[in-house]
Amino acid sequence: MTHHLTLRAINDSNFAVGVSAQESGGIFFDKKVVGVDLNDPNNVIEFPIFSNSSQEVWAINSNNKFVGKAVDESNSYQTAFVYDIAISTATDLGVLNQNFPFSEAFDINDNDQIVGVSQTKSQPNIYSGFIYENGTMKDLDKIIGCDTGWRIHEARSINDNGVITGTGLLDGEVRSFMLKPLPGTAPVCEDTSLSTGSGSISLYGLFSMLFILTRRLKIEPTK
C-alpha cells in the first residue's frame, strides 16, 4: 500500500490544497482533502468534509475558501461543497435536481462565486453547469434562456469579473464557451426539457473563446 499526496491549487497567501489517498494495485481509496502552508510545508492539515470519505478539491480563493465534492453527511451521494478555513466549516451547495443528487464544484473566485456541474436527468445522464452565489445554486441554462441554442454541460472556471468558461452543446456539437454577465433578466424559458434549476435575476451573455462580444445574447460558436 502506498500513500499519495496530490496538490491541486494554491492561492496568493501560498496556501495549497489537494488530496491525500492510499493506493493499492492501482486503486485509490480513503481520499481526504488536505492543506499545506508554504511557511510550514511539513505540516499537512486534514480537513473534515461531511462524512469524511471520498473527497475531491479543485480550487481555493484568496479568502481561504476551497471547493470540490464530497460524500454528503448522510453518506448517500456526492455533493459540491465550499470549505471556509477561517471558521472550519464546510457548506453543502446542494444539487439542481433532487431526483438525481450529484454535484461538483470546480472553481471559486475572490467574490465567493462558485461554478461547477450538477446532474439534472438520467437515461441518458444529463448534466448542467451551475453558478452558486448568495447561498443559491443557479442553473446556467436557465440564466441564458432557452432561445440561445446552447446547452451548458459544465462550468469549469470563473474569474473575479464573473466571466465563466466551460463546455456546452451547440447544434449537436460540443463547444467551448465564455459566459459574460450582462445587466437585465433572462427571457422566460418554456422548454420543459431543460433541467430544473433555481433560476436567476441576472442575465449572462454567451461568448466564444475567440470572440469577446458586447451585444446581449450574441453568440459566436468556437471553431
Give yes or no: residues 24 and 113 share one domain: no
In angstroms, the Cα distances linking 139 to 3, 41, 109, 166 are: 38, 39, 18, 14
Q: What is the pLDDT of residue 181?
A: 84
Residues 121 and 73 in one domain: no
Same domain as 134, residue 47: no
Domain that holds residue 6: 1-94
Shared domain for 116 and 61, answered yes or no, is no
Q: Which of 42, 65, 94 is the last residue of a domain?
A: 94
Question: Do 85 and 115 sit in the same domain of this protein?
Answer: no
pLDDT of residue 192: 45
pTM of the prediction?
A: 0.83
Same structural domain, 127 and 31: no
Based on the fold, state whether residues 89 and 165 are members of the same structural domain: no
pLDDT in tens, the chain (223 residues): 677 889 999 999 999 999 988 777 666 667 899 999 999 989 999 998 998 778 999 999 999 999 999 998 888 899 999 999 999 999 999 999 999 899 999 999 999 999 999 999 887 888 999 999 999 999 998 888 667 788 899 999 999 999 999 999 988 889 999 998 877 666 655 544 443 333 333 445 554 443 333 223 333 344 4
* Domain match, 25 and 111 both: no
Domain boundary among 41, 76, 94: 94
Residue 98 CB-density burial (10 A; 0-12 exposed, 13-18 middle, 19+ buried) = exposed
* Number of domains, the chain: 2
* Pair 141, 213 in one domain: yes
Same domain, 25 and 126: no
Q: Identify the domain boundary among 38, 64, 94.
A: 94
Predicted confidence at residue 162, as pLDDT, reads: 94
